[in-house]
Structure 1
Amino acid sequence: MHIESIPMWEGSGNNYAYLVTDEKTKDAVIIDPANPSEVLPTVKKAVDSGVNLKNIINTHHHGDHAGGNAEMLKTYSVPIIGGKDCAKVNKTPGHGDTFTVGESIKVKALHTPCHTQDSICYFFEDGNDRAVFTGDTLFIGGCGRFFEGTPKEMDKALNETLAALPDDTKVYPGHEYTKGNVKFGIRVLQSDPVKKLESFTNSNKYTQGKFTIGDEKKHNVFMRLDDPDVQKFTGKTDRVDVMGALREAKNSM
C-alpha cells in the first residue's frame, strides 16, 4: 500500500489527512480530510494519475477530522465510513469488523472510545506492511484528551486494543504533536527510548509513520502504566489512577 500524508493547518492544529492507495488496483481512501482546500489538490493529482477514490474514512466526529466531509462530497461523491456521530456518515463498522481497499489491503476497525465515544482506529494490512491510523486516540509519545471518556477507557484503548497489534505496525496519528508529547514524557521517564524520541523530534519536523506500536510501548508514558518510574511520577500504583494522573499533568503543562 502507498500512504501519502497531507499536513493541514500547519502551525495551528498540525493535523494530518492520509491518502491510502492499493498499488495493484489503484483503489484508495482518504482519512480525515478535514480541510478540503489543502486536501483536494493532492487527491485530484492522484485521481488524474489513475487513482480511484472509493471512500472517505473518519476516525471521530470532531470538526478537525470530519468537518470537511460535506465539502469533499461536492467533488467526490463516495460513501463515508466513520464513527456514528461523524458528519454525513454512511456506515459505522462494528468493533473488529473488516473491509478491503482494492485487492490487497485488509482494514480492521477498532473501537477506542475515550477522546470521543465514537472514536475508531483503523488497522491496515497489506502483506507484511502494517499501519494503524489512530486519530486522536494515540499520538507518537502521547494520547488524546479524555473529552468524552475516562482513564479506564483510554487504558483499554491504548494498552489492550492497540497494544495487541503487531509490534511492527506503523503509527499514523491525527496530529503532529510529538514535540510537546516528548517534552512531557521526558519529565516522567528519563529512559533511553524516551531520549531517543526526543532526539528524533529535535531533528525531524514530521514523525508520522516513523514509529511503531512496539516503539510506543517503550517511549509512550501512557503505555507504560506499570513502570515504577511512571508510577513514582504520579504517586499512584493502580493503572487507571496512573493514567488519570498522567493526563491531568499533561493537561496542565
Structure 2
Amino acid sequence: MHIESIPMWEGSGNNYAYLVTDEKTKKAVIIDPANPSEVLPHLKKATDSGIKLTNIINTHHHHDHAGGNVEILKSYPLPIIGGKDCTKVTKTPAHGETFTIGEGIKVKALHTPCHTQDSICFLFEDGNDKAVFTGDTLFIGGCGRFFEGKAEEMDTALNKTLGALPDDTKVYPGHEYTKGNVKFGVKVDQSEAIKKLEAFADANKQTQGKFTIGDEKRHNVFMRLDDPAVQKFTGKTGRVNVMAALREAKNSM
C-alpha cells in the first residue's frame, strides 16, 4: 500500500487529503479531497502514470473534508464512500463493514460519532502494514472538538474503537495540528512521551503517519483518562468527566 499525503490550505486549515494505492493492481482511493485546486494536479499525475481511481472516501461531512466532492466528480465520476451526511455520498458502510481496494488492501469502516455524528474512521490493512485515517476524530496528540457529540462519545471513539486497534497501526489524521496539541499536552503532563512528541513536532513540519495507536496511548492525554497526572490537571475523576474537562481546557487555550 502506497500512501501519498496531499497538504491543503497550509497555514490556515492545514488539512490533509490522502491518495492510497494498491501497488499490485494500481487501484486507488482519494480520502477527503476537500480543496480540488490542490488535489486535482496530484490525481492527474497519478492517473497519467497508470493509477486507476475507484472511489472517493470521506471521513465526515464538514466542508473542509467533503466540500470538494462536487468539483472532483466533474473530472472523476466515482462512487463516494462516507458518512451519511457527506455531499453526494453513494454508500455509507456499517460499523465494522469491510471492503477491498485492488487485491491487497482490506478496509474496515469504524463509526466514531462525536465531532460529527457521521464520523467514520477507516482502517487500511495490507499484509503487515496497517494505517487508520481518522479525519477529525483523532489527531496526533489530540482529538477533535465535540461539535455534534458529547465527551462519552469521544471516549468511546478514541479509547474503545480506535484504542482497540493494533498498537502498530499508523495514524493519518485530517489536519496537521500536532504543534498545538502538544503545547496543550505539556501543560497537562510533563511525561517523557509528551516531551518526545514536542521535540518531533518542533523539528518536523508534518507528523502524519509518523506515529501509531500505541504512541497515541502514551502521548495523547485524551487517551489517558485514567492517568493520575491527567486527572490531577482536570481536578476530575471518572473517564467522561476527565474527557469533558480536557476538551474545555483545550478549547480555551
Counterpart residue type for residue 242 of structure 2: V
Q: Unpaired runs of 5+ in structure 1?
A: none
In structure 1, the partner of 2:34 is 34
In structure 2, the partner of 1:55 is 55
In structure 2, the partner of 1:23 is 23
Q: Measure the CA separation in 2 of the matches of 1:135 and 1:88.
A: 18
Deviation, structure 1 residue 201 = 0.5
The CA deviation string for residues 12-37 of structure 1, in whole angstroms up to 9 with x for no partner, is 00000000000000000000000000
Counterpart residue type for residue 157 of structure 1: A
In structure 1, the partner of 2:180 is 180
Q: Does 1:149 align with 2:124?
A: no
User: How high is the TM-score relative to the length of structure 1?
Assistant: 1.00
Deviation, structure 1 residue 55 = 0.1
* CA RMSD, Structure 1 to Structure 2 (Å): 0.2
- Map 1:96-245 to 2 at 5 A: 96-245=96-245
Secondary structure in 1 aligned to 2:93?
coil
Secondary structure in 2 aligned to 1:124?
strand
Q: Measure the CA separation in 1 of the matches of 2:206 and 2:187.
A: 22
Deviation, structure 1 residue 124 = 0.2
Q: Measure the CA separation in 1 of the matches of 2:213 and 2:40.
A: 30
Q: Measure the CA separation in 2 of the matches of 1:176 and 1:102.
A: 29
Q: Unpaired runs of 5+ in structure 2?
A: none
Secondary structure in 1 aligned to 2:103?
coil
Secondary structure in 1 aligned to 2:4?
strand
The CA deviation string for residues 121-160 of structure 1, in whole angstroms up to 9 with x for no partner, is 0000000000000000000000000000000000000000
Q: How many residues align?
A: 253
User: How high is the TM-score relative to the length of structure 2?
Assistant: 1.00
Secondary structure in 1 aligned to 2:71?
helix
Q: What is the identity percentage for the equivalent residue pairs of Structure 1 and Structure 2?
A: 83
